Structure 1
Amino acid sequence: MFDVEMFITKANRVHMKKLVLDTCIAFLGRTISQSEFRVKNGSSYVKDELYYRLNVRPNKNMTASTFWETFIHKLVFDNECLIVQSDDGDLLLADDFQHIEYAVYEDVFVNVTVKDYTFQRSFKQNEVIHLRYRNEKLTPLIDSLFTDYGDLFGRILNSQKRKNQIRGTVDMDMLAAKSPQHQAKLQEFIDNMYKAVGEKDVAIIPQQPGFKYEEKSNGGKTGQSVDEINKVTNGFFNQVAMALGIPTSLVYGEMADVEKQTKNYMLFTVKPLLKKLADEANVKFFEKDEYLAGQKIDIKCISYQSIFDLATSIDKLISSSAFTGNEIRQEVGYDPSDDPKLDKHYITKNYAEMSHDEGGEKQNDNEH
């Protein structure tokens, strides 16, 4: 055998892992970024400096939507995220930090770095917003999963490439090819031939004395189809989406049972994450007495129900006398109305006001 290079290259499969992670994390980040962080004071909502920071401009360089998308990406990918507040009130996402944990004292964060700036001071736990995504890091799980899927993906990809591969053979004069000069000519001939076939639409390969090139096609043999490659990619995608709690049908854009899938996604993935963020924000922005007095951060997530479905649900809740109009308004995120009629209970589909007499309850005679 001659020491001749055959241009064997290894497929790079890192793009599959990055594509799946970015797709799933970005999907979750876009959902969270559409939420409204409302500042509640008693029974009413106020729009103050904190509201502006959380919903419009957290810092000088980021809008709120970009800020929370980046927050989710750091939280899921790194399993934890740290938000610190600068001296002028800006909310900053830490790119790197060192977490010193204690058993009975407050944890301390040191070497907090935002972009290229490292704070020289330390931050206590009550001065920052610090969240962990889950008990264990998700990255080792995805890495081990990708090892198996990536190897399978590479094997099927290489098999598919070989299926319709154009192969060539070179016959040579054995007596002439033994000399180093002829071996160098042979290597140069193969290099030029490979370059011409790969780069040109029409490649003319001249015949050389002692060298004979013949092209052979392998297209007639069966092999793995492109569908097999897609199945492996989708399999890895489904596993990562399941680990993040995202229904794959939503990411794929499937329309079947989209409302049920969206409801499960909002109920079991988005709302628990928003609850965790709201609890952390309430602890850091309000004292215990303020919170017990009714001051808190209330996060309103996006509605997945249509106006018609929402109106139908409200109609049933009010007509059954289970809730008043103002109770419904507060539940869906609006301030209570000053109209006294919205503080009364109604029954029947005609919204007749309930009245009380000595014999019990009866409906008004003027229901319409």
Structure 2
Amino acid sequence: MFDVELINDTRTRLHMKKLAIDTCASFLGRTISQSEFRIKDGKNYVKDEIYYRLNVRPNKNMTASTFWQTVIEKLIYDNECLVIQADDTDLLIADSFEHNQYAVLEDTFTKVKVKEYEFKRAFKQSEVFHLRYKNESLSPLIDGLFNDYGDLFGRIMSSQKRKNQIRSTVKVDGITSKSKEGLEKLQEFINKMYKAIGEKDVAIIPEQPGFEYKEHFTGSGQGIQSVEEINKVTNGFLDQVAMAIGIPIGLLHGNMADVEKQTKNYMLFTINPLLKKIRDEGSYKFFEPQEYLNGKQLEVKGISYQSIFDLATSIDKLIASGAFTRNQIRLETGHDVADDPELDKYVITKNYQEVGTIEGGENEE
């Protein structure tokens, strides 16, 4: 055997893993970023500095939508996210930190780093906005799935590349094979051939004394089928990651069948729990216990998949039956209470009466 280098091009399939996680995290982040974070004081909503920070400009370098999308994406990637408040009241997302957990004492966060700046102080749990996604990180699950899907993806890609591939052999005479100089020239010739064939559509290979180059074409005619197999593996891995996060597969792929039901389940079982985490954390960090008991709290109005025009018939029935006032309906639909006493009155526009009180025709004597 000649001591000739055989070129082996090995590439990792990390792009498939990154694409799946990025797609799901961005989908979730875009949904949450459209929410409105409101400060409720009793029955009224107030707009103060906290409202401005959460909805307009959390810090000097981020808009609110970018801020919350980054929070959710970091929450998915790292299983937790830490938001601190700087001395100028800016809300900053920590890139890295150390979480010191205690059984009885309050947890602390040290070595908090935002971009290139590391805070020297330790932050207490009551001073930060700390969110955890799950009890256990998604990373081991996704890594386990990727090991299987990545290996299968790599095999299909390698098989696809071998189809319709041009292979070649080099025949060497006995004189060349015995000399060290001849072997070096052979290796140099093979390297130049590989570079020319790989980089150019048309490569001209000159004949050399002692070298005989010959190509062998391997055609299979199954290229389209292999591309479909690649897409199936990629989509399969994406679907598994989406299921782990709680995103309906149909919404992710843009399927229109039962889109309303899928959206409702997505909002109910995936988005609302995340919003409740944010609401609970914010109500605890922004307000004292007595303030919360007096009705001051953080509310999150998520994006609605139905407009008030879609609900008009149902709203009319609720008001017409006298079950709710018009201001109560406004609160349920996410709108502020109107400053009109008439809207706090119960009205009945239907002929609802108790059984036995309905009169028939005229009384007969």
Range into which the TM-score falls when normalised by the shorter chain: over 0.9
- What's the CA shift string for 1:346-366, capped at 9, x where partnerless? 44xxx348799xx9699xxxx
Q: Give the equivalent residue in structure 2 for 1:334.
A: 335
For 1:255 and 1:221, the matched residues in 2 are separated by: 34
- What's the CA shift string for 1:295-327, capped at 9, x where partnerless? 111000011114432223322332333322111
Go from structure 1 to structure 2 and tell me whether the alpha carbon gap of 1:187 and 1:55 turns closer, same or farther (over 3 Å shift): same
For 1:361 and 1:75, the matched residues in 2 are separated by: 60
Q: TM-score, normalised by structure 1?
A: 0.92
Q: Give the equivalent residue in structure 2 for 1:180.
A: 180
For 2:216 and 2:275, the matched residues in 1 are separated by: 61
- Report the residue type matching 2:274 in the other structure: L
1:265 partnered with 2:266:
yes
For 2:329 and 2:37, the matched residues in 1 are separated by: 19
Q: Which secondary structure does the structure 1 equivalent of 2:208 belong to?
A: coil
Please give the root-mean-square deviation of Cα atoms over the aligned residues, in Å. 2.0
Go from structure 1 to structure 2 and tell me whether the alpha carbon gap of 1:11 and 1:111 turns closer, same or farther (over 3 Å shift): closer
Go from structure 1 to structure 2 and tell me whether the alpha carbon gap of 1:152 and 1:45 turns closer, same or farther (over 3 Å shift): same
Q: Give the equivalent residue in structure 1 for 2:105.
A: 105
Q: Which secondary structure does the structure 2 equivalent of 1:246 belong to?
A: coil
What 5-or-longer segments of structure 1 have no aligned partner? 363-368
1:290 partnered with 2:291:
yes
1:91 partnered with 2:72:
no
Give the Å deviation of 1:35. 0.3
Q: Give the equivalent residue in structure 2 for 1:231.
A: 232
For 2:259 and 2:222, the matched residues in 1 are separated by: 39
Q: Is the 8 A contact 1:346 1:352 kept in 2?
A: no
- What's the CA shift string for 1:7-51, capped at 9, x where partnerless? 211122111111111111011001000000001111011111110
For 1:203 and 1:123, the matched residues in 2 are separated by: 64
Q: Give the equivalent residue in structure 1 for 2:320.
A: 319
Q: Which secondary structure does the structure 1 equivalent of 2:185 belong to?
A: helix
For 2:77 and 2:197, the matched residues in 1 are separated by: 43
- Report the residue type matching 1:286 in the other structure: F
Q: TM-score, normalised by structure 2?
A: 0.93
- Report the residue type matching 1:313 in the other structure: S
Go from structure 1 to structure 2 and tell me whether the alpha carbon gap of 1:99 and 1:251 turns closer, same or farther (over 3 Å shift): same
Aligned residues: 357
- What's the CA shift string for 1:180-220, capped at 9, x where partnerless? 11111111111121122222232111111221111111113
- Report the residue type matching 1:122 in the other structure: A
For 2:101 and 2:201, the matched residues in 1 are separated by: 64
Give the Å deviation of 1:140. 1.4
Q: Is the 8 A contact 1:354 1:361 kept in 2?
A: no
Q: Is the 8 A contact 1:344 1:353 kept in 2?
A: no
Q: Give the equivalent residue in structure 2 for 1:365.
A: none
- Report the residue type matching 1:274 in the other structure: L
Identical columns (%): 67
- What's the CA shift string for 1:98-139, capped at 9, x where partnerless? 111111221111221111222222111111111110000111
For 1:190 and 1:124, the matched residues in 2 are separated by: 64
1:309 partnered with 2:310:
yes
What 5-or-longer segments of structure 2 have no aligned partner? 360-365
Q: Is the 8 A contact 1:40 1:294 kept in 2?
A: yes
Q: Is the 8 A contact 2:55 2:64 kept in 1?
A: yes
Give the Å deviation of 1:96. 1.3
Q: Is the 8 A contact 2:38 2:301 kept in 1?
A: yes
- Report the residue type matching 1:167 in the other structure: R
Q: Give the equivalent residue in structure 1 for 2:362.
A: none
